[in-house]
Amino acid sequence: MKYSICIGAYPGKDAVYHLEKIKEHDLQGLELYQWWNLGDLRTFAAEQQRIGKGIIATCTKVFNLVDPAFREAYVEGLRETIAACRMLHISSIITQTGSELPGIPREVQREAMIETLKRCAPLLEEANIVLEIEPLNGLVDHPGHFLQRSDESAAVIEAVGSRHVKLVFDVYHQQITEGNVIRNLTAYKEHIHHYHIADNPGRNEPGTGELNYIPILKAIQQTGFDGYVGLECKYSMDTDVAIEQFKERIASNI
């Protein structure tokens, strides 16, 4: 497994500063949500090369998959994001699904999402980039978000039928939504391309709440996963201290 941190881990600091910190802590990459705020991408690509660390995942420009009215905008935003990913050597794009539409049957919205993702699949396959669907919890952080459960997420991915459309399994969100974290990440291992970790409640760094991350990360490792596990969390202490504690108390025991 490889560990990444997310932009914002060092509040007020830019992406280059985060990359320098990733190198300092011997981590593997940065997740940056809004690539379009980087400025000149060629300049940033040169900074990545200089530091020897880079962005490993970014987000799409449009976050609505359930409303067909957004389909063309979604696909066009994905085209732009793929072009940026090629320039910056980013291999993963994260997307949410948008809020559930009132008065529209859930199966109709799910089919709209599948159709849009099928439209996207050839673009992703040509670029050899993976689009990662992220379920979010609706109880605490994202009321009304359409896709929340891992079983439904896996069913959508199976319906799309592309190796370039996968799942980002956010342990924090899935703990709130459904629990059974180890059972579900094991059951849907073939569909998972990326993990996010944070503790619950509070979404602070692992080790501050109810989730026991040593067995969770061991279970992830036992599935054969060798991709990125992102610390997508807030920090209850100095970020440098929190990262070193995570490495010493959790990661070193996997």
Catalytic residue ranges = 134, 232
The b/e string for 31-55 (b: 16+ C-beta within 10 A; e otherwise) is: bbeebeebeebeebbebbeeeebbb
Under 8 Å between Cβ of 94 and 59: yes
| Among the listed residues 185, 209, 183, the one whose alpha carbon sits nearest the alpha carbon of residue 196 | 185
Whole-number Å distance between alpha carbons of 22 and 4: 8
Q: How far is CA 231 from CA 112, 223, 239, in A?
A: 31, 19, 11
Helix (H, G, I), strand (E, B) or coil at 5: strand
* CA–CA distance, 29 with 19 (Å, rounded to integer): 7
Q: Outline where DSSP puts E strands in the chain.
A: 2-6, 29-31, 55-59, 92-95, 130-133, 165-170, 192-197, 228-231
Q: Is 202 exposed, middle or buried (0-12, 13-18, 19+ CB in 10 A)?
A: middle
